[in-house]
Amino acid sequence: MNVLVTGGAGYIGSVCVEQLADAGHAVMVIDNLSEGHRRAVDPRARFVQLCLSERDAVIRAVKESGAEAILHFAANALVGESMANPSKYFRNNVASGLNLLDAAVEAKVRKFVFSSTCATYGPPDRVPMTEDLPQRPINPYGESKLMFEKMLGWYRQIHGLEFVAFRYFNAAGASARFGEHHRVETHLIPNVLKVALGQAPHCEIYGTDYPMPDGTCVRDYIHISDLADAHIRALRPGVNGFYNLGNGAGYSVREVIQACERETGRAIKAIEKPRRPGDPPRLVASAERAMKDLGWQPRFPKLETIVASAWAWHSTNPKGYAD
């Protein structure tokens, strides 16, 4: 199948492009390289450097690609940054995304697969979280993704554009070739591993007064290869709608740091800081719907395995994709 991937030079996109190519799909990547890296694009894919804000060029590129499906990863995805700069999130995630959506309709693309997030829910009334929980985001990042989900609903109803929206919990880990490299790293696991690599003196714990057993936030970490696998399954005819992707197990910030110490065999110093604005205390998925409809099953559900794969990649690529 001809598949167009936006954000294919980014963390999740890069591993998805790798799996698409492994499965024999013809892949074209669009990425503006604001967050992504040219070296993170699998050489089997065609690469076009383009920003989704360039509406006419995006429409031309989508038509020219002959894509039957679009996987849309390109977005800004930092809770903390969105609380300081909401404009960036609504502009890039909503307005620029809309250009791509219109291009998909014009080019008669059959299926649109969207990277959504558990941040669309806000703090849940119960865990594990099912897809029918109310969506009440508490940061502009989650709000921008929810707005796009709603646009997809209307585009399906009005234009017949089929879609799958995956609400990711915390993507982590690496494949053998592709891993996580953000120019400014804010994510927990890579920041903790920086200490193990000797690149930082300590990591930080944002908030130790949450109503959780050890006072720190709880998240559901899911291996990047398992996320990518769900996207390949979403291309099948008849798969539609909203799906959570997580393992159904929650780990606190302190537990993640301990897992990193075990997997690296190194002591990791952590200092306690105030809460980071916009962080819900606990997010844990129920991914039963994805298991049932997609036949999806996480192959690497254990936190240890996820951390070990991240450590393997970071210790082999200590500068990430930088020269």
Catalytic residues: 141
Please give the residues from 48 up to 87 whose contact with ligand UDP meets the rule CB under 6 A. Answer: 79
Buried b (16+ CB within 10 A) or exposed e, 165-189: bbbbbbbbbbbeebbbbbeebeebb
Specify the residue for token string 């309709």: 105
Q: Considering the complex, state which of residue 106 and residue 214 has its C-beta at the smaller distance from ligand UDP.
A: 214
Interhelix angle 253-264/303-316, nearest 10 degrees = 60
Q: What is the dihedral of CA 262, 268, 269, 275, to 10 degrees?
A: -70
- Bridge partners (DSSP) of residue 139 are none
Residue facing ligand UDP at closest CB distance? 217
Tokens at residue 23, please?
A: 């499965």
Sketch the per residue contact string, 224 through 253, with ligand UDP: x for CB under 6 A, - otherwise: -----------------------------x
Q: Are strands 218-219 and 251-252 parallel, antiparallel or unpaired?
A: antiparallel
Among residues 276, 282, 289, 302, the one that binds ligand UDP under rule CB under 6 A: 276
How many CB atoms lie under 10 A from the CB of residue 237?
8
Q: Considering the complex, state which of residue 160 and residue 277 has its C-beta at the smaller distance from ligand UDP.
A: 277
Q: Considering the complex, state which of residue 217 and residue 294 has its C-beta at the smaller distance from ligand UDP.
A: 217
Please give the residues from 169 up to 228 whose contact with ligand UDP meets the rule CB under 6 A. Answer: 170, 186-188, 191, 203-206, 217, 219
Q: Considering the complex, state which of residue 9 and residue 217 has its C-beta at the smaller distance from ligand UDP.
A: 217
- Bridge partners (DSSP) of residue 162 are 111
What gap in Å lies between CA 75 and CA 12, rounded to an integer?
A: 11
Please give the residues from 87 up to 116 whose contact with ligand UDP meets the rule CB under 6 A. Answer: none
Examine residue 282 and tell whether it contacts ligand UDP (CB under 6 A): no
Q: Could you list the residues that contact ligand UDP (CB under 6 A)?
A: 79, 170, 186-188, 191, 203-206, 217, 219, 253, 276, 279
